[in-house]
Structure 1
Amino acid sequence: MTSRRNFLVPLAAALALTFSPLSHAAAPAGKVSAEVAASANKALLAIADDYYQAVARFEPIGATENGDNRFDAQLGLSIAPAKRAAQFKRYRQFAKRLQAISPHQLDQKGRINYDILKYELNGLIAMERFPEHLLPVNQMDSVPVTLANYAGGEASQPIGTVQQYDAYLSRLTQLPAWIDQAIANMRTGIKKGVTQPKAIMISALPQFQKLVSATPEASIYYTPITKLPATFSDADKQRLTASYRQTINDKVMPAVARLAVFLEKEYVPACRTSTGLGALPDGAAWYQARVANATTTTLKPDEIHAIGLREVARIQSQFAVLGPKLGYNGPAAGLPVWVAAQPKFFPFKSEQEVQAVFHKLNDVLDTKLPAMFTLVPKAKLDLRLEPELSRATASDHYTAPAADGSRPGVFWSVVNDPTKYGSTGMTTLFLHEGKPGHHFHIALMQELNLPDFRKFGGNNAFTEGWALYSETLGKEMGLFDDPAQYFGHLNDELLRATRLVVDTGMHAQGWTREQSIKYMQDTLGYTDYAKSETERYMAWPGQALGYKVGSLKIQELRARAEKALGDKFSLPAFHAVVLSDGTVPLALLEEKVDHWIASQK
């Protein structure tokens, strides 16, 4: 999991259709004069820049989440029906402008920009028919909770300078209008039969009730004032304190109270008792669009469900072989529960001991990765402990380096209680979140000179698919010769496979929430996690599908190249082909690899 929000922000939601046909972005460019290509590329980049600006202004929180802080003073009102309609009109205008450019006049990089932009616009326009704006809140994310999470200044919106304090205050002043629009939308949703499942709103309700405060000073939104830097002038301190207090007291407190009461008294009682998106009007098509968004493929839910079942069976067959090597002789499905009960797999007494393992692993990878990679980011990877303030709610994750080189990429390990930090999953975790996973991909993105819509956009299928594929490289580097570390790898993979089964089960096959929880408990062996994960998939239909689908595609393309090229196959060259253009939809990745195979022959 990266710090980027690679799910459900409009830029990511753009990826809702497959390329068909591609303009052959990966193919060698035809004979076009340099002047013609330069002119066409310039025109394309102008459209791309206008498009990105339009998306960022429509959903500025999405820009903030994806690392673009230029829009931090704006909240946006994308859920307002009139603004939503106007935005879709803009997308159609961008698509029309794009049609005026011939892809054959572009150079190779221009063709890739063209294909991805066309793909995103087609996908966005296809989403217009689905009333996502009538479902503005859930337990996983909502604007009021996101702003509350920003209040500490440790998240995607920095709050440290006077200008940044003013930007956050500006967002707070816009929050009541968003809340009132959300309430109006949910009332419309009740009338149209488009509501959230009751179970996830019962889980969400305490979040919104906690936002209600008796005084401005007790509000979480007042947190920045409790941390005013000593370097601020007395005038700025007084102005900001007074402005925050007045805005929260007069505007924010009444609005969050209205929302909490509305949800408890009116919305939750009216919510649907069904589980999946398929139960809503036009729900099957809606879920299919979400699946396409998450996977960047034309795979149908039933096909993904079958893939998930096959992967679960494959991994559990590996458990059967691995169990005895760890000292376990029970049924394969029981291995995760048994491992979790063995004290030897929880050897740590301090945070420093946990960090020492990651540092040693980092050093080992420095000796092994050069044999696999020639294209690597210039930015360094730093290893840090998650700050105490955010430890309780965070999970181990990666944050990208600063584009200007002022800050390295960081792998954050979250150690709440070192005695409960399991050792078996550490190698696979670092390969995913550190290197060669997110760091080799996302840090490189900062160095590729991409247009903003690609630098700050992306899709889960490539981003998480690459990181999950990176985990598999541990086996050929000898890092999984230790059966305990190989178990950790398989156990994480099993979760990703299980997601394919339950997400499609609930949203396309009529599974209930309870069926999903039971399947996850039976398959994964742990109970507390099954409820929260099931409800995550209910709130974000399709989002969790990209990890496994993307990883399997990269593995499939590698096997294809190895078979076709034989002795001519170069793993570093293959990895360079996969990473060299940053995040791309899987159809474009496949075409790139096929052209590379042909060129090597």
Structure 2
Amino acid sequence: MKQIFTLGAIGAAILIACAPAGAATAKAAATHSAGAKAGQTQAGKQLDLLASQYYDAVARFEPVGATENGDGRFDDQIGMSISPAMRARQYGLYRGFQNKLRTISRDALSGKGQVNYDILAYELGSILSLEKFPQHLLPIDQMDSMPVTLANYAGGQAAQSLTTVKGYRAYLNRLNQLPAWIDQAIANMREGVKQGITQPKAPMLSALPQFKKLASATPEASIFYTPITNLPAGFSAADKKALTAAYRLTIDKKLAPALARLATFLENEYIPAARTSTGWSALPGGMEWYMARVASQTTTTMTPEEIHAIGLQEVARIQREFGVVGPKMGYTGPANGLPTWVAAQEKYRPFTTEQQVIDVYRELDAKLRTKLPALFTLTPKAPLDLRLEPELSRATASDHYTAPAADGSRPGVFWSVVNDPKQYGSTGMVTLFLHEGQPGHHFHIALLQELNLPNFRKFGGNNAFTEGWALYAETLGKEMGLFDKPEDYFGHLSDEMLRAVRLVVDTGMHAKGWTREQSIQYMKDTLGYSDVAKSETERYMVWPGQALGYKIGSLKIAQLRARASSALGPKFSLPAFHQVVLGDGTLPLSLLEAKVDRWIAANK
């Protein structure tokens, strides 16, 4: 992208310096400068207003998404984005925003304003490219659904705060809205069956126990009653009584019957009618749909074939690294057999309790705090907390990060998923924490709320940058001496291999006709362990393209770092490079590349 400069005060100063002396010339130049500033201010105001309107429209449409991103203004709403009528109105709004954006002069904006303009233009274009595809007919899967998300909020440890009476009432309001959402979801899925647009059967069979577990015989047995069992001692007796009665009534009369309807519908009607095919290309218009998702998730114009080839190249490269690290661990077999050998070693499963697992992460966190200042000058102010995943979602969840609250009321959180501590492997813990904790997601996502960005950028983003940065952050473990133990470096390589394999199997299933079983077998053969092959494959089946952003984004950041280091030589500063990458928040990869190239040119 070519940088466009405006003729503001600097341009006027050049005009004055180069012009013949005289009051008339100086006055004319000053008048030009004032006009340029006025134009920039007017265009900037128009853009700021439009960006604010756009973000608020998105947050009201997906208020739970706003909560997840740290914006608590709509914590009492769940939205009805799966309603066909609501969805149509929303896309009409997006088209209106796009048309308004085109009336704003980009040339009249400041440098930061142009970045905001370009990202908003990109985001609107990406959203509208998906309008014709009926995602609303697939409202539920084993990875993501409104009932499970709200159930995970019930403990008060997730994205929605439950520490005040107001917070309790906001959550209760969401529970009151959930039955209508469930009935709309059922209606959508029935329509999907008619149109041949359903989730694959296998992932839905995996999801069914989750939804059965949400149903309860009594209000007190419901997970949604958890806030009442955890009522803060500081609440008044009157508030406790009122909240208890209200939660019991909502769960008994509204929520429990709706959850029972959903579980029955899934088991008796939807799963029997669900498709037995694997890839998105099996759906009506599915290949075009998948291509649009690939573009959205990678922020590139790469084809599935190109991505598949990169995946195979990365798999081969990492297997060569296995050949180097294996002997250091005592392994003497072929390189591709190293993961299987490691998985069989009891010494790499040293835990007996959940607490032991989280204690290791806390020790690692403390060690990182001493090492990160050498690599970063731009760091978030928000603290990072470490917690265990709630029991309800452990079976299908992966270790993950949630953003801090924008008002500082909740820290960023690294969630560790420990289903069986005796089976929890130690080799991948360092690289996992670098990704999900710091300097991965925490350094990027927490910073978003501290950079004085417009809300649509503070609480938004794209998958390729977000996951690409976190995967790139894993590689920094080598520079910090965190992979000195060969088993920890193997853990890093093993996780890198998973991300490379994702490029192969995601494109394989959705664009090249691979079956679920073919993907599972490839993952078992290449990764050397079978415990995640099924769940990961089924994740890619219902989230096509999402898993591509990790490797594509990290490869781009590594490529830009190598380019900057080569061009700048001794002038290259790694902390400065990291500040360039993170300092404007989340960018589509093309805009990030243009930004780094400008930084290189300015520092040569």
The 1:441–1:281 alpha-carbon spacing in structure 2 relative to 1, beyond 3 Å, is same
Q: 2:94·2:128 contact (CA, 8 Å) conserved in 1?
A: yes
Structure 2 distance, partners of 1:88, 1:311, is 38
Q: Which amino acid aligns with 2:114?
A: R
Distance of aligned partners of 1:525 and 1:73 in 2 relative to their CA distance in 1, 3 Å threshold: same
Moved more, 582-591 or 26-35: 26-35
- Distance apart, 1:211 and its partner CA: 2.2
After TM superposition, the structure 1 stretch with the greater mean CA deviation from structure 2, 258-267 or 66-75, is 258-267
1:305 partner letter: H
527, 538, 542: which is aligned to 1:539?
A: 542
Deviations 1:505-550 (A, max 9, x none): 1111111100001001111111121111111111111111111111
- Secondary structure at the aligned position of 2:147 is classed as helix
Residue of structure 2 in register with 1:124 after alignment? 127
Counterparts of 1:424-435 in structure 2, within 5 Å, are: 424-435=427-438
Tell me which amino acid in the other structure corresponds to 2:99.
K
Structure 2 equivalent of residue 591 of structure 1: 594
Deviation at 1:574, TM superposition (A): 1.5
Query: What residue identity is the alignment partner of 1:343?
Result: E
Note the 1:102-501 alignment, pairs <5 A: 102-347=105-350, 357-358=360-361, 361-362=364-365, 364-381=367-384, 384-386=386-388, 392=394, 395-405=398-408, 408-413=411-416, 420-501=423-504
Deviation at 1:376, TM superposition (A): 2.5
- Further displaced range: 475-484 or 588-597: 475-484
> Relative to structure 2, which stretch is displaced further, 329-338 or 282-291?
329-338
How far apart are residue 187 of structure 1 and its match?
Answer: 1.4
Q: Does 1:71 align with 2:66?
A: no
CA pair 159-367 structure 1, distance change in 2 beyond 3 A: closer
Residue 339 (structure 1) shift: 1.4
Q: Which residue of 1 aligns with 2:20?
A: none
Deviation readout 1:197-251 (Å, 9 max, x if unpaired):
1111111122222222222222222222222223222322222222222222222
SS where residue 228 of structure 1 aligns? Answer: coil
Q: How far off is 1:363 after superposition? A: 5.1
Q: What is the alpha-carbon distance in structure 1 between the residues aligned to residue 568 and residue 6 of structure 2?
A: 24
CA distance in 2, matches of 1:70, 1:462: 26
Equivalent-residue separation in structure 2 for 1:387 and 1:91 (angstroms): 36
Superposition TM-score, scaled by structure 1 size: 0.90
- The residue identity in structure 2 corresponding to 1:275 is T
Residue 57 of structure 1 deviates from its aligned partner by 0.9
Superposition deviation, residue 184 in structure 1: 1.4
Aligned AA (1:230):
A
In structure 2, do the counterparts of structure 1 residues 456 and 526 end up closer, same or farther at CA, with 3 Å as the change threshold?
same
Equivalent-residue separation in structure 2 for 1:295 and 1:267 (angstroms): 32
8 Å CA contact retained: 1:391, 1:415? no
Structure 1 window deviating more from structure 2 (469-478 vs 328-337): it is 469-478
> Could you say which residue in structure 2 is the equivalent of 1:575?
578
CA distance in structure 2 between the aligned counterparts of 1:172 and 1:376, rounded to whole angstroms: 37
Higher RCO (CA-CA < 8 Å; seq separation 6+): 1
Counterpart Cα distance in 1 of 2:399 and 2:266: 32
- For residue 532 of structure 2, give the secondary structure of its aligned residue in structure 1: helix
Measure how far apart 1:47 and its partner are. Answer: 0.7
SS at match of 1:267: helix
| Cα pair 1:151 1:223 within 8 Å, conserved | yes
Aligned equivalents of 1:187 and 1:349: distance in 2? 46
Cα distance in 1 between the residues matched to 2:316 and 2:439: 27
C-alpha distance in structure 1 between counterparts of 2:417 and 2:580, whole Å: 33
What secondary structure is seen at the aligned counterpart in 2 of 1:514? helix
Judged with a 3 Å threshold, the aligned counterparts in structure 2 of structure 1 residues 360 and 175 are, in CA distance, closer, same or farther, namely closer
Cα pair distance change 1:161/1:389, threshold 3 Å: farther
Q: Give distance in 2, aligned partners of 1:282 and 1:388.
A: 38
Larger Rg: 2
- The structure-2 alpha-carbon separation of the partners of 1:585 and 1:591, relative to structure 1 and needing over 3 Å to count, comes to same
Query: What's the Cα RMSD here?
Result: 2.3
SS in 2 for 1:527: coil
Q: Matches of 1:391 and 1:195 in 2, distance apart?
A: 23
Give the Cα separation in 1 of the matches to 2:106 and 2:343: 55
**Cα offset for 1:288?**
0.9
Residue 372 (structure 1) shift? 2.7
Evaluate the alpha carbon distance shift between residue 359 and residue 207 of structure 1 in structure 2; reply closer, same or farther with a 3 A threshold: closer
1:17-45 residue CA offsets vs partner (Å, 9 max, x unmatched): xxxxx5x5x65555373332222222111
Q: Deviations over 1:351-408 (max 9, x none)?
A: 67656654554455445433332223344545x4537767955654444444445655
Cα deviation, residue 111, structure 1: 0.9
Structure 1: segments with no counterpart, 5+ residues: 1-21
Distance 1:111 1:198, change over 3 A: same
Instruction: Classify 1:526/1:158 alpha carbon distance in 2 versus 1 (closer, same or farther; 3 Å).
Output: same
Which of 349-358 and 508-517 deviates more?
A: 349-358
Report the CA distance between 1:88 and its aligned residue: 0.6
Q: Is the 8 A contact 1:385 1:415 kept in 2?
A: no
What residue identity is the alignment partner of 1:435?
Q
CA drift at 1:347: 4.3
**Kindly tell me: are residues 316 and 29 of structure 1, through their superposed partners in 2, closer, same or farther at Cα, counting changes over 3 Å?**
farther
Look up the equivalent residue of 1:208 and give its one-letter code. Answer: F
When residues 28 and 595 of structure 1 are mapped into structure 2, their CA distance, relative to the original with a 3 A threshold, is farther
Q: Give identity over the alignment, percent.
A: 69
> C-alpha separation between the residues in 1 aligned to 2:408 and 2:76?
25
- Decide whether the 8 Å contact of 2:64 with 2:75 is kept in 1: yes
Shift of 1:463: 1.3
How far apart in 1 are the matches of 2:269 and 2:229?
35
AA at the equivalent of 2:388: E
Paired amino acid for 1:523:
T
The answer to whether the 8 Å contact 2:70/2:406 transfers is no
Count how many residue pairs are aligned between Structure 1 and Structure 2.
577
Measured in 1, the distance between the counterparts of 2:139 and 2:447 equals 34
Question: In structure 2, do the counterparts of structure 1 residues 553 and 348 end up closer, same or farther at CA, with 3 Å as the change threshold?
Answer: same
Cα distance in structure 2, aligned partners of 1:264 and 1:392: 22
Instruction: Confirm or deny: 8 A CA contact 2:5 2:107 kept in the other structure.
Output: no
